[in-house]
Structure 1
C-alpha cells in the first residue's frame, strides 16, 4: 500500500496544486482556489500561490476521503516524497525525499505537530518519527515544504518538513464520528467534539481507538490502541492575545512487518553492477509465504526467551509490536503589540517510552547446510562439526547424526515420534528494543512589520532551544522456524542410532543464540538555534521575497555499551538447576553475546549554518476567482546535525590500534536550487517545478582491517591466518549526491463535463551518489578489497513516479466514483546496483455516497489489480544458495488486495 492516501485522493479537488476545498460529492464544482493560505515554512500566513518554496497541502476534506491508515500512506500524496507505503505496517515505514540517500526512517523529513516536533530527533533507532504522528479526526490539515525557509525555521529539515495541524474549537458546537471496517478485521473509531466554553474560551477533544489483525494477518490481534488529545484556546476581546494549551496521550500498538523469504531458480545468474539481476515476482518463488499476505510471524513464533545487558533472561513478546506510550503537552502564546510588533512563544514537553518487538529476516537457510555445513563456505562444518569440537565432544560420543524437528512435536528425549523439519527454514532475527525519551522544546519569535513605502518587510527573529534525552536497550537473537502461514518453531538435536537425544539440545525453543549483539545507551542532548527571516513584499504585492539565515549548535553527552564496539561479554547462561552436558542442557546457553560492552563516554559539539533566498512574482491575477499565474525560484543551503544513528548506533568509533576516537565530521550539508511556474483558473491548476540538489553526507568510517603491510615476529600480516597483534587500518570517505528532477502537478475539471475531475502528478529525477575517495572495505585471500571512486543510484530510489487519478461525480445522485493508477519506477535494492526491484502499477478504486448532508458512506478497494513488487531487501549473490542450487533472499513485498468501508457522521 505504497500510496494508499494518494490513491484515494482521486475524489478530491486539486488541493495538492492549489488546495481547493471540496463540497459534498454531488455538489457543483468549484473553481480553483488561489487564495488558500499556508502556515508552514513561513512566518506569516501566505497565499500558497505566492509561496517562494515548493508547498503541498492535504485538507480536512481530503483526509476524510483519503482514510489513510498511517503517516507514510498520507505522505504519498506529496510529489517528491517517496514513502514505502504501508509495507512495514501502520508505523515505522521509510520516507525518502528527492533522492536523498538513507537506509530508512525519516532522517531528512522531520514531522511536526503544529509547528513543533513531538520529539527532536526524527530518526531514532527503535523510535521512528511516525510513532508520534497518528493523523485522526482531530487533524484538520497537513502541510509539507521542501527546501527554502523550511531549513531556516525548523531543525534538521534538510530535505523537507511536514506539519500536522490540530483542530481547535470555534464559537459553534460541533462534532464528528467515523467508523472504519476493513478486510483485516479492522475496526477503528474516531470521535471529536468542540465548541465554546465562554465568550473567550473554546475547547476541542477527540482521538481514535483501533483494533485489527494487521495487513499481514499473523493469527492474532496485531494492532490495538490509539490516542486522545484535547485543547483549550483563549482569545482576548480585542484579538491581540491568544493562548492555546494542548494535551495528548498516545498508547498504541502496531505490528512491524519485515522481509519475506524467497528463492530464485538455479538457472538465474547473480547480478553485477554491469548486469543487474531483476528481482521480478513473476520469476522468483515464494517458499511458503504469499508475497501479498504472508508473514513469518505467528502465534508460535511470537515469543522468545532472550538476555539483557545484565545477563538476565526476559521474554520477547512480538505481539507487543511497536508500542509508544507518550504524554505530550504544549503551550502556544501569541501577543500582538502596537506598531507592527508581535511575539510568539511555543513550548512543548514530551515524555514516555517506545517498545520495539519484532522479527527481522535474514536469507532463508538450508536445513542440511545447518547440519553439515555449507560447502561454499570454507571452514563451515555445521552443527555436526560443532558437537564434535571442544569442549562439547564428550557430551556427544554416542551421537550418530544431528536432526531438525518441529519444536511442538518433541515431548521428551525419545525423538522417534517427533516430526522432522522441512528442508528450508526461515532465518529469524528476533529483536527487542526499548526506548525511554523526553523532549523539552521552545521556539520564541519576535516579529516586526516594517513599511518603507516602496516595500513592506515582515522581520522575524527566532530563538530555538531543545533539550532531549534518549535511553535505549536492544538485543538481537537468532532462531529458526518453518516458512509458512502459522509458522512453527524448529529445534536441532543430536541423536543416537535408536533416535534418542544425546547430550544438550543444539537449539532451545528454536533459538541458537539468545543474544547475538545489542545496544545500550544513555544520552542527553541540547540543541539551540538562532534564526532570522525577512518576508519582503514589493511592486504592489506582486513580488514576494524570503531571505533568511539559521545557526544551530548541538551538544551531546552520552554513554554507550554497544556490542559491536567496544564489545560484549561471551557468557555461559546455563541455569543453575540444569546439569551441564545433560539432555536438559542446551548449546544455546553457551557463548551468549551479552550486550554489556564496557561503557564508552563521549562529549561532542557540532554546529551548522544555513541560509535561504527565494522570490515569487505574480505575472497575472490577484483577485479572488480570477486565477493566478506566478513564477518562483529559491536557492538554499541547509544542514543536518548528527542523529543517534551517527553518534550512538554507529559511532563515534574507536580506532582499534590507538584507542583514539576516529569519527570524522558528522554534519551534513545540502545546496538546493528550485524554480517553477504555477497557474490556475476555473478549469486548470498546474504546477511545474524543477530542482537541483548537491548533497554531502557525513564522513563515513570504513571497516576496521588488519594492516597488511605490517608484520609480527617476522610473519607478514598478509598471511592466512593472520598473526595476532597486527596493527589495523581504517579508511574514511564521504558520499556525495547530485540529483536533478522535475515535479509536475495537474488538475483538470472541464466545463463541458462538470462531474469529471482528472488530477495527479509526475515526478522525474536522476539521483547519483558517489564516494569522494577510494576506500578499503574488506580483506579477501590476503589482499584488500578496495571500493574505487565511482557513482551509483542510491538504493530504493525510483527515477519515475506517476499518479493518474480520475473521478466522476454524478449530477443526479450524490455519488462519486474514483480510481487511480500509481506507477512506481524500477529501483535498485541496494547501493551496489546489482539487483533491481521491478516497476509496478498499482490500481485502486472506490466510491463515496453522501446519504445525507451529515452522513457519508465510502468503499475503498486498495491494490485492486493485486500488483506485486518489493520496497526493500537484499541483493542476490552466489553465497546465498540452497543445496538444490536455487539462490535465496529476503525482501518486503507490497501488500495484496484489501478493502475498507468508512462511515462518517457530522453533527
Structure 2
C-alpha cells in the first residue's frame, strides 16, 4: 500500500471543518490582538462598584491586566466599597483590601496572590530536595493553588475543596526521584498500576482495576491538550510520543473523577505535564548524568523574560545507553528539543510551543525462567534474567520479507520515534466575567517498532526436533536423521538432548501518523443561588495513519546474545538434504498486515462548579463524543517462494491486491457529578459518581475491518474521599468502585506448530472495589515520610464461553477470577532525611506489590515482590548540585507480566517448568551533576 499517510485522509465533513475553522480563526484573531503597553506602575483607570469583595477583586484583575488568586470563601463574606478614578494598581488594591483581613502573599508583573488570616493551607508539595537552605525565618503559608487538570475553569481551590483524587508532583519531586521512564514516574501515583519493565517507551498503565493495557484508558496531556488523541493505537502507546525533560515544570495526575469529561479516552484518569514558562522563572540549568552499561545523558533548559509580557524557554535532552539488558550494540540513542514563546498581558495570553523528538529506545520483552522445586521462579541455567538478552549481533540484522519484498530487518532500530508537534494556546478576556480559551496542536510523526518477541516456551533441542519430524520426513523422504546446526558457521549444536532452544519473532511495525487537535472553550462566572463557574467547550480531532507490519520467525539457542540455529535433514551418509529453517528463520512472512485509517472526532462538553455556600461545592458536567472511522485494509494470501531445499519459504503471507473498506461511526455520552463539604479549613470530604465510556479505537480494525465485537464500552465509577491538609500531616484517601460492561477481551496466541497467530475474542464485564491512600508526614526536624497505598479487589464478571480444544468443545468460566496482572495490594514508602543544614537530602524508596496473575485463567502466578531504591541530592555550592540514583538496590527478580504472546486467557507453563515472563530491571546506578545559572 504505497503512498504517504496523508493520502489516508479524506475531506473533513462540514461539522468537523466548521469546528477546525472556528478554532483556527480564533487562534489567528488571538495572534492579531494588539500587545498592550508593558505593565509598569503607571496610572490606570478603575471603575469598581460597591458589592461583594470577590467580584470586586475580579474586576480589579481585569482592569489592571493581571491575574489575581485569593480564597473565595473569605472574600465572599466581605463587602467592598466603590472604587473609581485614576491610580496605580498597588494603590487600588490597597484600598480594596483595607480592613478586609486579606494580604498580598506573592506578587509579580502578571499575577497577585492573596492570603487570609488565618490562611487556608493548600495541599503541600512533597518534601523539598536540597536545592537551597531553608530560610532562617518561617516562610508565609502557601497560597491557594490553581488545579488545572480535571477542570474546565481556572478558579483557585484548596486541597480541602477538591471533589476528586489528584496527585501533584512538583519539579523538585521529579529531580529527586529521576524516573527512568515516563511510566516509572506514575509509580508515585496511588491507584495507578504501572508496568515500566518495557524500557523508556511502550509500557502499560492502569487505573483502579481498568482491565485494558497500554494507555487505552489513561490520557497523556501537555498543558491540558492531549499528547495523542487516542493512546490505544496499536504499537503506538502515548509514552512513545513523549519524554520527560527539564522543560517540564510539574505533573498533575487525576484518577477517575471528571477527567473523562474534558479529555478524550480518559475513563481511568489523565496525566497532565505542565511545562515551564519564561514569564514564571528566569535562568536555567544543565545536567550531565552517567551510569552503568554506558549510560550518558545531557539535559538543559534556559528560561528568559524578554519583557513584562513576553518570555521564552528552550531546552531538551540527548541520551545514549548500552541497554538495561545489553544486546551487544547501542540500545538507546536520541533526544528531544523544545522551544516555547509565551505572552501574557491585559487579561490575554498566547503561547507557541514547538517540540521535536527523535529518539530510539529498546523495547524489552519477557525472558526465560523456570519454576523451582518450591514453585517459585528461578533463572534458567546459563541465562541471567536480569542482565542477559536474547537479542544480539546475530539477530541485529537479518534478511526477511515485507510481503513479497525482500527487506533487511534491523533490530537496532528498536522503537524509533521521529515527531514534531506545534501547539498554539491562548486566552482572551471577553468582559462580564467571561473568557475564551483555545488550543490547537498539529503533530506529525513516524514511529517504527522493531523487536524480538520470544514465542512458546523453552525446550531441549531434541524435544524441538520431535515436533517437526513428521513434516520434515514428508518434505524430504530420504531423511535419515534430524540435527541442529548453528546457522552462520554450520557447526553442530552441542548436547541437543539437554541444551535449550527457543523460538522468536522478529517483528517490524511502522505507524506514521498525522494529527490535528483543536478545542475552543468559553468560561464565565454567574451568580444564582450561589456562585457558578461554568464552561462550554467543543473539541475536534482529525488524524490519519498508515499501519504496516511484517514478521519472521526464528530458531535460537537459549543464551545471552543468542546464536541462530538451523534444523536440517541428513541422509544416511550425513549429508544435508533439506532444511526446516533458512539461516535460522523458521518461517518467512509469518505475519503481514497493511492498513490505512482516518478518524474524525468531535466532542462537546459542559460543566458547572457551583459554590452553594462557603463550605459546600458541587460540580457536574457532561460530555458527548462521536468518532468516525474511514479505512482500508489489505487482503492477504499465502505464497510459496519455491526454494525446494527449505520449508521456511513455503507459506509467506503477502497482500493479494484487494482492499477491504471500513466505514463506521461510534458515539458515547458521559456525565459526572461530585460534591465537596469542608468540615474545617483543613479537612474536606467528597463524593462523586461518573458514567463514562470508551469508544472503539481505530487500531482495533487494523487487521479485521469487518469485526463486530467492538462497541462503545459503558463505564461506571463511584468515589468517596477526604482531603486533609494539616500543619505536619497531609492525607488524601479515596474509596472507589469501577464497573466495566461489555468489554472485549482478546486471546492473541502464537501457535508454534504453525508459526502463526491465532486470535479469540470474548465479551465480559469487570468490577473493582478498592481504596487509595496518599500521606505526607513532615514534622519539625530533618525527617519526613511520604506514603502511598492501593488496596483493590478486581474481578471478571459474566466471563463464560465455549472453546474448541483439539476440535472438541470445552466450557470455560473465568467469572470471579482476578484481573490479569493487577495486584491486590500496592505500597510505596519514601522516608527522607535532610542533613548539613538542608544541603544534603537522602531518600529511600520501598515499593511492594502483592501476587498477581499473568493470565485470565489465574493459572500462572506472578509472585509478590519488593523493590528498594535510593536517591541522594547534595547542594555543593549555591549553583552546583550532585545527585545519585539507585534502583532495585537488592537486584530482586520482580516479574511484572508473563508472555502475552503465549495467550492471555491461559498462558500456562511447560511440562518441564519453563516459561517466559518480563522482570523489572536489575540494579541501576546513575550519578548526575547539575549547574544552575
TM-score of the superposition, structure 2-length normalised? 0.81
- Cα 1:33–1:635 shift into 2, 3 Å: farther
Q: Check conservation: 1:263, 1:287, Cα contact below 8 A.
A: no
In the TM superposition, residue 799 of structure 1 has moved relative to its aligned partner by 0.5
Query: Residue 288 of structure 1 corresponds to which residue in structure 2?
Result: 382
- Equivalent residue for 1:317, pick from 396, 410, 415: 410
Query: Residue 563 of structure 2 corresponds to which residue in structure 1?
Result: 488
Q: Deviations over 1:443-471 (max 9, x none)?
A: 1101111123x411111110010011121
Structural mapping, 1:329-348, within 5 Å: 329-348=422-441
In the TM superposition, residue 148 of structure 1 has moved relative to its aligned partner by 2.4
Query: Residue 489 of structure 2 corresponds to which residue in structure 1?
Result: 409
Distance 1:743 1:264 in 2: 33
Deviates more, 1:735-744 or 1:168-177: 168-177
| 2:756 is equivalent to residue 746 of structure 1 | no
Query: What's the secondary structure of 1:170's corresponding residue?
Result: coil
In the TM superposition, residue 75 of structure 1 has moved relative to its aligned partner by 0.9
Calculate the aligned-residue CA RMSD, in Å. Answer: 2.6
In the TM superposition, residue 646 of structure 1 has moved relative to its aligned partner by 2.7
Q: Check conservation: 1:287, 1:484, Cα contact below 8 A.
A: no
Q: Check conservation: 1:138, 1:206, Cα contact below 8 A.
A: yes
| 2:128 is equivalent to residue 52 of structure 1 | no
Query: What's the secondary structure of 2:488's corresponding residue?
Result: helix
- Cα 1:612–1:518 shift into 2, 3 Å: same
Deviates more, 1:36-45 or 1:822-831: 36-45
Q: Check conservation: 1:16, 1:56, Cα contact below 8 A.
A: no
- Cα 1:490–1:700 shift into 2, 3 Å: closer
Distance 1:672 1:340 in 2: 33
Query: Residue 226 of structure 2 corresponds to which residue in structure 1?
Result: 117
In the TM superposition, residue 697 of structure 1 has moved relative to its aligned partner by 3.8
In the TM superposition, residue 615 of structure 1 has moved relative to its aligned partner by 1.3
- Cα 1:27–1:795 shift into 2, 3 Å: same
Distance 1:665 1:587 in 2: 37
Distance 2:908 2:147 in 1: 51
Distance 1:881 1:506 in 2: 26
- Equivalent residue for 1:831, pick from 853, 856, 871: 856
Query: Residue 11 of structure 1 corresponds to which residue in structure 2?
Result: none
- Cα 1:700–1:105 shift into 2, 3 Å: closer
In the TM superposition, residue 33 of structure 1 has moved relative to its aligned partner by 4.9
Query: Residue 203 of structure 2 corresponds to which residue in structure 1?
Result: 93
Distance 2:768 2:361 in 1: 35
- Equivalent residue for 1:62, pick from 158, 173, 191: 173
- Cα 1:901–1:473 shift into 2, 3 Å: same
Query: What's the secondary structure of 1:251's corresponding residue?
Result: strand
Query: Residue 765 of structure 1 corresponds to which residue in structure 2?
Result: 792
Q: Check conservation: 1:467, 1:524, Cα contact below 8 A.
A: yes
Query: Residue 477 of structure 1 corresponds to which residue in structure 2?
Result: 552
- Cα 1:777–1:650 shift into 2, 3 Å: farther
Distance 1:133 1:328 in 2: 10
Query: Residue 660 of structure 1 corresponds to which residue in structure 2?
Result: none
- Equivalent residue for 1:459, pick from 528, 534, 546: 534
| 2:337 is equivalent to residue 252 of structure 1 | no
Query: Residue 922 of structure 2 corresponds to which residue in structure 1?
Result: 896
Distance 1:420 1:835 in 2: 30
Query: Residue 466 of structure 2 corresponds to which residue in structure 1?
Result: 372
Query: What's the secondary structure of 1:307's corresponding residue?
Result: strand
- Cα 1:172–1:28 shift into 2, 3 Å: closer
Query: Residue 361 of structure 1 corresponds to which residue in structure 2?
Result: 454
- Cα 1:838–1:308 shift into 2, 3 Å: same
- Equivalent residue for 2:730, pick from 685, 692, 711: 685
Q: Deviations over 1:780-825 (max 9, x none)?
A: 4x53112247221110000101111111111446211221221111
Structural mapping, 1:135-174, within 5 Å: 135-170=244-279, 173-174=282-283
Q: Deviations over 1:384-420 (max 9, x none)?
A: 322331xx33xx53x321211122322xxxx6x7877
Distance 2:834 2:183 in 1: 28
Structural mapping, 1:704-719, within 5 Å: none
Distance 1:181 1:16 in 2: 37
- Cα 1:27–1:556 shift into 2, 3 Å: same
Structure 2: any 5+ residue segments left out of the alignment? Answer: 1-120, 750-758
| 2:790 is equivalent to residue 790 of structure 1 | no
Q: Check conservation: 1:21, 1:59, Cα contact below 8 A.
A: no
Distance 1:487 1:789 in 2: 37
In the TM superposition, residue 340 of structure 1 has moved relative to its aligned partner by 0.8
Query: Residue 183 of structure 1 corresponds to which residue in structure 2?
Result: 292
Query: What's the secondary structure of 2:462's corresponding residue?
Result: helix
- How many residues are paired up? 794
Query: Residue 73 of structure 1 corresponds to which residue in structure 2?
Result: 184
| 2:359 is equivalent to residue 299 of structure 1 | no
TM-score of the superposition, structure 1-length normalised? 0.83
Query: Residue 619 of structure 2 corresponds to which residue in structure 1?
Result: 546
Between 1 and 2, higher relative CO (CA 8 Å, sep ≥ 6) is seen in: 1
Q: Check conservation: 2:132, 2:878, Cα contact below 8 A.
A: no
Q: Check conservation: 2:771, 2:791, Cα contact below 8 A.
A: yes
- Equivalent residue for 2:522, pick from 425, 446, 463: 446
Distance 1:682 1:124 in 2: 45
Structure 1: any 5+ residue segments left out of the alignment? Answer: 1-14, 269-277, 374-381, 575-579, 622-627, 654-662, 705-729
